Amino acid sequence: MLRLALLGVFLLADPVAQLTRDVEFARPGGTPLLMDVSIPEGEGPHPAVILVHGGGWEAGDKSTYIKPWFPMLTDARFAWFSINYRLAPQHPHPAAVRDIEAAITFIRDHARSFRIDPTKIALMGESAGGHLATLAGGRAESTLAAVVSFYGIHDIPLWAGQRGRMPENIAKYLAGADPLEASPVRYIRKSMPPHLFVHGTGDAGVPIEQSTSMCEKMTAAGARCEVFRVEGAPHGVENWETNAEWTGYKTKVVRWLREVMR
């Protein structure tokens, strides 16, 4: 059931979209999963982007870390859905990626109500959310128009080698699962959706090689991808807001999404 009643509809400052908060899209094991929904004015159908927050798999929610994306997508007249997912260590892999897949199914099933085109749904995530978006994009259960990963971890064994050890937060997320099975690089195939990798060259937490290596392997498999380098930028799009030179990614992302979903 589409739970929009009593949630309240809020008009943004620029009345080009309606924002509805706390729409329940799934209840795995009795845990309600909520999302915020922004739909452009007009009949549509509109292209849509599902947003996956970061937070090291164990922190964050639908309103943290990714706020710079909200006006970017609203101004470009994309519908967007910022989702919660279950967090580690209470909910280890594959709970989070299954929640993302549940969101995709819910949004597609209610495409008419949301005035979106069910064939033009993209996933976009940052950090741990970039990992999860790319993982969902590669799994057979997902059929998406595009994936945008901001400095995601795409090869967990490679990342452990780059860090000199398996970081504690991802060890909690894995909880004994095979690191390669939980890595997007495991699911590369020619038929996967187009990917845009956005990565700061000054990222000390997730080296840019995580994105360049993934794209190289996708290209070798015949899949479509592109790496957009943000010169000197550290980890975190909220940090990028402090430097105008680091915010140029917004124009790139909007143009790329329009191109692949036109």
Indicate the burial class of 11 (C-beta count within 10 angstroms; 0-12, 13-18, 19 or more): exposed
- The mean pLDDT of 241-246, rounded to a whole number, is 97
**pLDDT tens, 58-112?**
999 999 999 999 999 999 999 999 999 999 999 999 999 999 999 999 999 999 9
Residues written for the chain: 262
Q: Does domain 9-261 bear CATH number 2.40.30.60?
A: no
Cα 89 vs. chain centroid, distance in angstroms? 20
Domain ranges of the chain: 9-261
Distance between CA 108 and CA 126 in Å, rounded?
22
Contact 89, 172 (CB under 8 A): yes
Calpha distance 58→63 (Å, rounded): 15
The token pair at 203 is 């990222």
Q: What is the pLDDT of residue 3?
A: 41
**In the block, residue with structure tokens 């309103």:** 63
In this prediction the pTM is: 0.94
- Of 137, 148, 154, the closest CA to residue 198 belongs to 148
Looking at the DSSP bridge assignments, the partners of residue 83 are: 35, 52
